[in-house]
Amino acid sequence: MKRAIELFVIVIAMFCTASCSGSFKDIKVTSWVLTEVVPRGLSAFDATIDLGIDNPAPQVTLSEMSALIKMDQAPCLHLTAEDVTIAPRTESVYTVTFHGVLDENFNPFTLLQLFNQQKQTELTADFGFRGTLKSGIGKYFVYTDVPINDLLDRQ
C-alpha cells in the first residue's frame, strides 16, 4: 500500500513540475505527508495527501488531472485528482485528494511483485492535466510512458 501511495505522490509531483511552460519549470514539490487512505470496496480507494509546493511562478490551477499507472505495459491503476490552485510566489502546503481504481483486467495480487526486490517490475505512467493561469489562459498537457521506478529511487 505504501508503494501505491508513493506512486500518487510521484504523479502529483509530475503534475506540478510539468505545468504550463517557461517559469513553471521552477515549481518544486518540497514535502508530502499521507494523511488519509479510505478504501472504497475491493478495487478502489481515496487518498488525501498534504503536499508542500514551492511556487516562484504566477498562480496556476491544475485541473482535469488523470493518470494511468502501468506495470510491464499493462494498465493497473487509474488515478484522478481534484483541482488544485497553487498560489503565486509562495511556499505552501496543499491538501490534494486522489481517487484510485484498479483496472478491471488487472490482478490485484500482481501488486505483490512490487515488494519483490529481485524482480525488476517496470512501472510507467500516462498522465494529463490542464494548467490554467489566473487570467484564464491554459493548456492541456499529456505525457506518456513516464518511468516511475527511476523517480521513486530519487525519493
pLDDT at 31: 83
Of 20, 12, 18, the closest CA to residue 133 belongs to 20
Give the CATH number of the domain where residue 57 resides.
2.60.40
> Mean per-residue pLDDT for 89-108?
90
* SS3 label, residue 136: coil
Please name the residues in contact with 137: beta carbons below 8 A apart, sequence gap of 6 or more: none
Q: Which pLDDT belongs to residue 23?
A: 53
Residue 84 has pLDDT above 60, yes or no: yes
pLDDT beyond 50 at 154: no
At residue 14 the predicted structure's pLDDT band, cuts being 50, 70 and 90, is low
What pLDDT is attached to residue 15? 58
For the segment 94-103, the average pLDDT, to the nearest whole number, is: 92
For residue 74, give the amino acid letter: A
Count how many domains the chain has: 1
Residues 6 or more apart whose Cβ sits within 8 Å of residue 95: 35, 48, 49, 50, 51
Range of the domain at 17: 2-153
Which pLDDT belongs to residue 66? 92
What is the rounded average pLDDT of the residues 44-57? 88
Q: Which carries the bigger pLDDT value, residue 80 or residue 112?
A: 80
Average pLDDT score over residue span 26-52 = 85
| pLDDT of residue 3 exceeding 60 | yes
